[in-house]
Structure 1
Amino acid sequence: MQLHTSLVIAILFLVSSCFAVKDYLFKSCEQNGFCHRNRHYAKEITLDPNFISPYSVSPESISIEDSIIKGIVVKQLPHIDTSVEFPFEVSILCNSFHFKLDENRESKQQVVNHQRYNETVEWAFVDGVDTNREAKFNKDERSIDVSYGHNKVTIEFHPVKLTFFHRGNEVLVVNDKQFLNIEHQRSKEDNEDNVLPQETTFNMFSDNFADSKNDKLPLGPESIGLDFNLKGFSNLYGIPEHADSLLLKDTSGREPYRLYNVDIFEYETDSRLPMYGSIPLLMAVNAHEALGIFWVNSADSYIDITRQQDSTVHWMSENGVLEFVIIIGESPQKVNEEYGKLTGNVQLPILASLGYHQCRWNYNDIKDVLEVSSKFDEFEIPYDTIWLDIEYADNKKYFTWDSENFGDPAHMLKVLNRTGRNLAVIIDPHIKTGYEVSDAIVSQNLAMKNNENEVYYGHCWPGESVWIDTLNPKSQSFWNELHKTFMISDEHKNLFLWNDMNEPSVFNGPETSAPKDNLHYGQWEHRSIHNLNGLTYHEATYKSLIDRLPTQRPFILTRSYFAGSQRTAAMWTGDNMSKWEYLKISIPMVLTSNIVGMPFAGADVGGFFGNPSGELLTRWYQAGIWYPFFRAHAHIDSRRREPYLLGDPFRSYVKDAIRLRYKLLPVFYTSFHQASLTGAPVLKPVFYDYKDSTDDGVYDIEDEFFLGNSGILAKPVTDEGAKQVSFAAPKFSNENFFEFTNGIVSGKVYHDRLSAELSDVPMLLKGGSVVPMKNRYRRSSRLMRHDPYTLVVALDKNGRATGNLYVDDGESLNSEYKLLTFIVDKEGISLSSTGDYAFSVSIEKIIIVGADFAIDTVSSGRVISESEKITIVDPKEFPVKFGKGSLSHDEL
């Protein structure tokens, strides 16, 4: 195609996107062939009380070897005297149940790989996941039992049914409704003999949706569907990404949740439409157990939910093997821990990435960037990273710099580095045609192909583009060399990367993405790998950065993601709007990301599209300081809104909020360390701590949350004109919560309401907590390294408190570290530590609330109070220096 055509298409796309998301651009379930067919099949089965499933396990096929069950599911066809065989495997991975069913297919001479896609697990799982060899098996003619830990699974042969028990209680039945549906291989000519009476043939061999009518569907129908009946569970969470409530909704008679990564401009709230990322993990929670369903599939998928006392979840995917993992435990934390053993936990981020990020589309030139940076210093507002969108490159050619406006990037990086600042720049997967990078991608056979196995040309920001196929292992060395050249030199370690538009976004493609019949390495159709495409791209970038600087933790922001993305990237919720409802919905969206093991999440502070009022922008910053990824961003047509440009009082309120984030950096970093070890959320929904409450209202709370295990409870103000807030969590606890507004503890116990003037960040601190803070203003997190800590101690009703502090150098892979544990009781303060980090840590102040004593002075090796109840437990364990009204220690 000619360049002028691409420009016209891009302009039309931009014009259309200025108003709102257009629902008609995206398929509904009714319009999407495989979802339409599976919903129809489920409805017909439900209406037929005499239905007999055509699926059964062949008893004689069952074998058990090396703690793996192998067998065959047989599908009996009604119109011809034949059947279809589907080999399956069952194994226990760590402490999770893993089921995988494939199809024996005839090889056909065609361009596309004719097998069912079976490599999703290779991208989603970490290397070296162990099979549990202690699982026990017991087989008879009708079923087989699998026992592991506190769990047992009974696999019935006919009808196929899997029943899960936890500590003797039935918690899940798979295929209880008999929605199991596997559209096996067949030709269009013999399709009539292969269709069950309950099936419809809608769009089996063609696609009548306007934008995808050219889809060849070379393999015909190959969808899969399966139901999961959750016994005693009505509270369901997860399956991001959707601009919807934390607690998943019943979709009966409504559009189901869809997982299909797309570039969705100005997405709507209260929506089950697909968005930029997909993590097919659903968590169910009740007072006794928590259960995770990990649907291991990277194709277009829908999830229907019937919420009731025994909820039903119906998964439907366009193709691929039928593979899932069941995780059962006593708590949501246990589900996160087991899921993390399979897919990996969040990387421990570089400390600077937890600071404030300043971004817009686009800063004009180097002078603009450095002036913005200096203005932050002039107004004493800390920040860590400034960002450049697509205009920094030469005519939107990635891996280049605009010679007129960004001709000396090394100088820019050097100046930023003087104050510990970083630069983040965007590199997208669409590569403009007609320069050395795209020419090399084509000549080295590294491009995504069309359905004729030729290079695919589509349109995105640069105009006509090609897309690098990062599923191709040969693309990695090519990508490595590009980044070594682009990243200036090893002298400059303060350059971060932003991988956007990696769904992939294709302006002239169906549903703003790549055609499903495009081809990737291995001749796999794009329809099979679509949802993991973004993961393969940002993982390739991560490996390139490690190849360049093997000892430094990379920072990468990705828009598209999949299960496993947490290992190498942060995410944000994409192109939101400057409206109150988008501020409000950002909280459950970020919490949902935390629930499914991807806690490094955030939303564009202030909204990407539009111009927020002073009140909205202030409240958004006050909420944004709690996002694990804290970045302000704005559209090119939005007014400049850097914090220092705001008129008072808004400027001072925003400044105070950003400074509070920096005071809390030790808490965020410690929480991320815990998440990197156990998969725990950094922002923790209230039900995590109080799921055993007799009040079901605990499961609905989506506007307040805990910061890790710190005891800090936050509830951002998300309503215009609000002057006070009411917290729900304290009513589920037997402990006191102390008012902690703006990070200042007053000793006042919270009751019913908390004042929340526009200057206030409403916070509580749970009794029993020790919070380490750094209260001195510095320009960036790197400059805070040697600052002393203030310990805020809130004693519980028994006069005790505990807390942790994790410290290392903030940037190295495999860094030396020290994990400190503080224990406070009526006898004194003790400290223990693990790790071998030699860096000194000092405490300049300890503030204690919730006690019947007060610290007056410090002298002679003890803290003197009116009742003399607090002393230093052991000077050898807690070496101290005594100063005027403060307590410190060195060289732990």
Structure 2
Amino acid sequence: MLTPGHMSGRWTSLFCLLSVLCALFTPAVSVKEHDFKKCDQSGFCKRNRAFADQAVASSSWHSPYNVLPESKSFKDGQLQATILKTINDNGDTVRLPVTISFLQSGLARVTVDEEKRQKKEIELRHDSKARKERYNEAEQWVIVGGLALDKGAKVTYEDKSQITVQYGPTSNFEAVIKLAPFGIEFKRDGKTQIKFNDRGLLNMEHWRPKIEPPPEPEKKEGEAEQTEEEKKEAEKKEEERKANEPKGEDESTWWDESFGSNTDTKPRGPESVALDISFVGFENVFGIPSHAGPLSLKETRGGEGKYTEPYRMYNADVFEYILDSPMTLYGSIPFMQAHRKDSSVGVFWLNAAETWVDITKAAGSRNPLSLGTSSKTTTHTHWISESGLLDVFVFLGPRPEDITRKYGELTGFTAMPQEFALGYHQCRWNYVSDEDVKDVDRKMDKFKIPYDVIWLDIEYTDEKKYFTWDSHSFPDPIGMGKQLDAHGRKLVTIIDPHIKNVDNYEVNSELKSKEFAVKNKEGNIFEGWCWPGSSHWIDAFSPAAREWWASLFKYDRFKGTMENTWIWNDMNEPSVFNGPETTMPKDNIHYGGWEHRDVHNLNGMTFHNATHHAVESRKPGEHQRPFVLTRAFFAGSQRVGAMWTGDNQAEWGHLQASIPMVLSQGIAGFPFSGADVGGFFGNPEKELQARWYQAGAFYPFFRGHAHIDARRREPYLAGEPYTSIITAALRLRYSLLPSWYTAFRQAAVDGSPIIRPMFYTNPTEEAGLAIDDQFFVGNTGLLVKPITEKDKNSVDIWIPDSEVYYDYFTYNTIPTVKGHKVTLDAPLHKIPLLMQGGHIFARRDRPRRSSALMKWDDYTLVVTIGRDGKSAEGDLYVDDGSSFDFQAGQYIHRKFVLDGAAGAISSVDAEGRDPKTVKEGEWMAKMHDVTVDKIIVVGAPASWSKSKEVTVESEGKTWTASVSYTPAAKGRAAFAVVKKVGARIGADWKLVLP
């Protein structure tokens, strides 16, 4: 059978065409699961799972890892020691340095390395350029702060068996380090929260030389038989070889491993790291995106309603991914949290290699003093990575917001996007010409449908050569860009990491001549297959390669682009059509001599980072915040852009799955996320399309997208009543953009999720911990539960508290009971959206065609009076929506308070800033003309009916504003509207209530 490596010329083009056609016309039934490994097909996962089975099954099991007592030392918040791993029955050991760091942030970090490897050179077959030591550079890419040591940490107890360290901002955290066998128990306020190696599953596969069994000597005619001495020498060598093989293990995948038609060579041999981490008393664990399953992670060792495979983190191009599965997807964040009524904790597993996580749960024994109730379930997790260090951060909470904030301090908070990025994005594979783009733009205006961005997939290029345009279909990209710019709209073009390997293509020539491409195991430029056919991949780990990459985006090189052109990074897992599991061979070599296996999950992030830098620097003084979308990601990717959940399908199940997937991204520190609205593959029925837009209006990243084979489905093509329903959802999104932007600001400052699951907002309510089909938007009090089922005209919303709730559209007071569900009517035109009492949020109510055209519009404030009948509060953040001037204080951040006792609604600076300390720039000066136009008070008391006007006080002036009052009737709350308030949005003001 011919393979890509055997073909050239027109046969290469034919193969590429056939590959693409095969991809396009594969029936949309299910992902080809056999193209991706299961645990027992991954040598290191299989070995570690077998290791775990052996340990758990044996009542006499003892972990072979013990701390050498005389090696331990503690200084300035850091404990260092040496772990001895016993590797055979002869008592031979391997030395593993361990460092336990206690940080000022309250985190603890546990790092285990392998002592400098034996001086004897590892046999590097094929003249491999791979580095010998374990990969130790993930921190350079991921960690941006929070590593300062807690020099106030102290040893409070020590004996021959353990050492206890007290640490944390209030010294209420403890780490009990057990020496034999090695393990750690993390406590808060004296109660155990997390245990390391409690079940004895710690396993670091140490380096060993490869000892080939001696070949049978070829017996020559007349040659004497092997002497006894020679036989003994051969047997001795064989015993030495077996001594280095862990007992009961299969050596067959130590030095190479085959899957399908690919063989992965392993010049360093087996080097996996594994650890069991137990969350004591926690039944629910969350995180480790991305997977198409529930928010509360399932068990993985079989049984009814459970998975049989571990969760896998190995970024891959998973064609038409299946639902309710632990199989790998496009990106990975190895950050897990556990939550219960009175506690939130977490761990961050800093390892960029292929990683698997098993999850099991064990119920506690019955407590005779607890009146028949059982003690809480403990969740056991087993983390397994192919290579690298064992490097784990421990978070002891106690609240969900403590976990996300500390994680953000460690890996960075989400980048503050331009405001247009929060609007609606219109995309498909592919708009066929610049005239097609302009026609879509005109028709969106004709039908009065707001949008901000239109996207171009790979077909805009000249034969899949990035940084070029197809001169026949896109002869005038500048004219296209100018038409979009006239309406405040943007263009996004796709740029992938694979570079077409063809002559007379300048980018390819430079990539090769400068040696900026990923290399194969022989040290030559790696050649693989993707959309262009034969391709090379930029190695974005190289600083010089990143600077070269940045040069390609400058306007004089990427001709046809303008200041309103932004970028989409796809296929950056990386996707390699003819590679193992549709990705890059693990024995490829990156900058610094590291094997691809060591950095695989980082790869997409490095490319995303390189593109972010390129866009930011494409013109001196441009000073615009970049917008770059990525498909592959890792911890820290949130610092440089947005992500989407990949190639979903136009099915109800995929709409339903999108909500826990996006929620999972948010709690894992990457909240700027969304799913392809309408589904990428297939053709959604009209009801599904409408419901998906209603859900998508509440994704942080809101984009409609479709496959090249899908029918055109721009909103104006849906027909009535669907076009009107979709348009209403889009207009709702645009009216709420001020509140969305405020939520993004909070995420950028403290790591808060933008859309928030029930366990985050109401962590004391155990019944809500696993709910993943409804959520709050920022701090607005807006509670939404999208309809995700066919022919569904009502919805049950779980109420997490005793507050009053109002219907967003009708102001009806919803009869609710804390901890119970309430049923709401939700015909096709209706989004189930409630307003929680006690909040104030901002809108802009004038319909516009794009967010740019709303920039100087006045604001509406919506006040939802709480159950106490007299209080509410909220905030609003505003800046110029595009530049970095906010970093110099050029922003408005207001806090709004309704104080019924004081009889006023007021606005003050949310951060207590003195306006005299901020020198106003052009944007802030122009904002003097932007005011609060009206205030809607839902749940207004009857006393408001007695007055037709209220007094407004601001900036030394006093005036009146008119009030209209509508009394309560037929379930609807009373409400009042204060019109033409007239106070500057950026000024202090007070509205005196009737």
Instruction: Report the Cα distance in structure 2 between the residues aligned to 1:424 and 1:41, rounded to whole angstroms.
Output: 49
Equivalent runs, 1:676-695 vs 2, <5 Å? 676-693=748-765
Instruction: Report the Cα distance in structure 1 between the residues aligned to 2:648 and 2:351, rounded to whole angstroms.
Output: 27
Report the secondary structure of 1:232's partner residue.
coil
Which letter maps to 2:983? H
**In the alignment, structure 1 residue 889 sits paired with structure 2 residue 965:** no
Report the secondary structure of 1:30's partner residue.
helix
**In the alignment, structure 1 residue 244 sits paired with structure 2 residue 324:** no
**In the alignment, structure 1 residue 345 sits paired with structure 2 residue 413:** yes
Q: Which residue of 2 aligns with 1:361?
A: 429
Q: Which residue of 2 aligns with 1:376?
A: 444
Q: Which residue of 2 aligns with 1:279?
A: 333
Which letter maps to 1:157? L
Deviates more, 1:193-202 or 1:423-432: 193-202
**In the alignment, structure 1 residue 824 sits paired with structure 2 residue 893:** no
Among 705, 712, 716, the alignment partner of 2:782 is 712
Among 833, 853, 857, the alignment partner of 1:783 is 853
Residue 7 of structure 1 contacts residue 463 of structure 1 at CA under 8 Å; is this kept in 2?
no
Residue 552 of structure 2 contacts residue 558 of structure 2 at CA under 8 Å; is this kept in 1?
no
Which letter maps to 1:470? A
**In the alignment, structure 1 residue 136 sits paired with structure 2 residue 154:** yes
Report the secondary structure of 1:86's partner residue.
strand
Among 375, 383, 386, the alignment partner of 1:315 is 383
Which letter maps to 1:824? L
How far the C-alpha of 1:882 sits from its partner, in A, is: 3.1
Report the secondary structure of 2:937's partner residue.
strand
How far the C-alpha of 1:141 sits from its partner, in A, is: 3.2
* Overall identity of the aligned pairs, in %: 43
Count of matched residue pairs: 875
Report the secondary structure of 1:733's partner residue.
coil
Q: Which residue of 2 aligns with 1:119?
A: 137
Which letter maps to 2:55? I
Equivalent runs, 1:101-500 vs 2, <5 Å? 101-104=112-115, 105-107=117-119, 108=121, 110=124, 111-126=129-144, 129-138=147-156, 139-149=158-168, 150-189=172-211, 190-197=240-247, 199-212=249-262, 214-253=263-302, 254-308=308-362, 309-434=377-502, 435-485=505-555, 492-500=562-570
Which letter maps to 1:8? F
Instruction: Report the Cα distance in structure 2 between the residues aligned to 1:615 and 1:193, rounded to whole angstroms.
Output: 65
Q: Which residue of 2 aligns with 1:36?
A: 46
Q: Which residue of 2 aligns with 1:88?
A: 98
How far the C-alpha of 1:876 sits from its partner, in A, is: 4.2
Among 827, 836, 842, the alignment partner of 1:757 is 827
Equivalent runs, 1:63-102 vs 2, <5 Å? 63-93=73-103, 94-102=105-113
How far the C-alpha of 1:686 sits from its partner, in A, is: 0.9
Report the secondary structure of 1:483's partner residue.
coil
Instruction: Report the Cα distance in structure 2 between the residues aligned to 1:825 and 1:490, rounded to whole angstroms.
Output: 55
How far the C-alpha of 1:273 sits from its partner, in A, is: 0.8
Report the secondary structure of 1:455's partner residue.
coil
How far the C-alpha of 1:688 sits from its partner, in A, is: 1.2
Residue 468 of structure 2 contacts residue 558 of structure 2 at CA under 8 Å; is this kept in 1?
no
Which letter maps to 2:879? D
Report the secondary structure of 2:257's partner residue.
coil
Residue 202 of structure 2 contacts residue 274 of structure 2 at CA under 8 Å; is this kept in 1?
yes
> What are the Cα deviations for residues 32-84 of structure 1, in whole angstroms up to 9, with x where unaligned?
00000000000001111112221111121112334322211111122445211
Structure 2 CA distance for partners of 1:787 and 1:198, relative to 1, 3 Å: same
Residue 555 of structure 2 contacts residue 562 of structure 2 at CA under 8 Å; is this kept in 1?
no
How far the C-alpha of 1:410 sits from its partner, in A, is: 1.8
Which letter maps to 1:252? R
Which letter maps to 2:562? H
Report the secondary structure of 1:425's partner residue.
strand
How far the C-alpha of 1:417 sits from its partner, in A, is: 0.7
Deviates more, 1:93-102 or 1:156-165: 93-102
Unaligned residue ranges in structure 2 (runs of 5+): 212-239, 303-307, 363-376, 919-923, 964-977, 988-994
Instruction: Report the Cα distance in structure 1 between the residues aligned to 2:595 and 2:945, rounded to whole angstroms.
Output: 72
Instruction: Report the Cα distance in structure 1 between the residues aligned to 2:957 and 2:560, rounded to whole angstroms.
Output: 40
Residue 344 of structure 1 contacts residue 567 of structure 1 at CA under 8 Å; is this kept in 2?
yes
Q: Which residue of 2 aligns with 1:867?
A: none
Q: Which residue of 2 aligns with 1:812?
A: 883
Q: Which residue of 2 aligns with 1:60?
A: 70
Instruction: Report the Cα distance in structure 1 between the residues aligned to 2:45 and 2:15, rounded to whole angstroms.
Output: 34
Which letter maps to 2:278? N
Q: Which residue of 1 aligns with 2:811?
A: 745
Residue 45 of structure 1 contacts residue 198 of structure 1 at CA under 8 Å; is this kept in 2?
no
Which letter maps to 1:888? G
Q: Which residue of 2 aligns with 1:47?
A: 57
Q: Which residue of 2 aligns with 1:866?
A: none
Deviates more, 1:709-718 or 1:404-413: 404-413
How far the C-alpha of 1:846 sits from its partner, in A, is: 1.1
How far the C-alpha of 1:194 sits from its partner, in A, is: 2.3
Q: Which residue of 1 aligns with 2:371?
A: none
Deviates more, 1:496-505 or 1:472-481: 472-481
Residue 400 of structure 1 contacts residue 486 of structure 1 at CA under 8 Å; is this kept in 2?
no
Residue 311 of structure 2 contacts residue 328 of structure 2 at CA under 8 Å; is this kept in 1?
yes
How far the C-alpha of 1:488 sits from its partner, in A, is: 5.5
Residue 6 of structure 1 contacts residue 459 of structure 1 at CA under 8 Å; is this kept in 2?
no
Instruction: Report the Cα distance in structure 1 between the residues aligned to 2:813 and 2:845, rounded to whole angstroms.
Output: 19
Q: Which residue of 2 aligns with 1:630?
A: 702
Instruction: Report the Cα distance in structure 1 between the residues aligned to 2:581 and 2:17, rounded to whole angstroms.
Output: 15
How far the C-alpha of 1:146 sits from its partner, in A, is: 2.0
> What are the Cα deviations for residues 710-762 of structure 1, in whole angstroms up to 9, with x where unaligned?
1000000001001111110x2x3011111114xx5345556822111111111
Instruction: Report the Cα distance in structure 2 between the residues aligned to 1:878 and 1:40, rounded to whole angstroms.
Output: 77
Report the secondary structure of 1:272's partner residue.
coil
Report the secondary structure of 1:474's partner residue.
helix
**In the alignment, structure 1 residue 527 sits paired with structure 2 residue 545:** no
How far the C-alpha of 1:97 sits from its partner, in A, is: 0.6
Report the secondary structure of 1:540's partner residue.
helix
Which letter maps to 1:106? Q
Return the TM-score normalized by structure 2.
0.86
Residue 79 of structure 1 contacts residue 194 of structure 1 at CA under 8 Å; is this kept in 2?
no
How far the C-alpha of 1:211 sits from its partner, in A, is: 3.5
Residue 101 of structure 2 contacts residue 149 of structure 2 at CA under 8 Å; is this kept in 1?
yes
Which letter maps to 2:602? L
Residue 29 of structure 1 contacts residue 256 of structure 1 at CA under 8 Å; is this kept in 2?
yes
How far the C-alpha of 1:282 sits from its partner, in A, is: 0.5
Among 833, 848, 873, the alignment partner of 1:802 is 873
Report the secondary structure of 2:200's partner residue.
coil
Return the TM-score normalized by structure 1.
0.95
> What are the Cα deviations for residues 648-706 of structure 1, in whole angstroms up to 9, with x where unaligned?
0000000100010001101110000001111000000011122212xx32112111000
Residue 481 of structure 2 contacts residue 561 of structure 2 at CA under 8 Å; is this kept in 1?
no
Report the secondary structure of 2:831's partner residue.
coil
Q: Which residue of 1 aligns with 2:237?
A: none
> What are the Cα deviations for residues 216-254 of structure 1, in whole angstroms up to 9, with x where unaligned?
111111111100111110111000111111110011131
Q: Which residue of 2 aligns with 1:5?
A: 12
> What are the Cα deviations for residues 466-495 of structure 1, in whole angstroms up to 9, with x where unaligned?
000000111121011101146768993211
Structure 2 CA distance for partners of 1:647 and 1:491, relative to 1, 3 Å: closer
Residue 738 of structure 1 contacts residue 749 of structure 1 at CA under 8 Å; is this kept in 2?
no
Deviates more, 1:150-159 or 1:193-202: 193-202
Instruction: Report the Cα distance in structure 1 between the residues aligned to 2:63 and 2:862, rounded to whole angstroms.
Output: 62
Larger Rg: 2
Which letter maps to 2:884? L
Instruction: Report the Cα distance in structure 2 between the residues aligned to 1:877 and 1:146, rounded to whole angstroms.
Output: 57
Structure 2 CA distance for partners of 1:247 and 1:880, relative to 1, 3 Å: farther
Q: Which residue of 2 aligns with 1:612?
A: 684
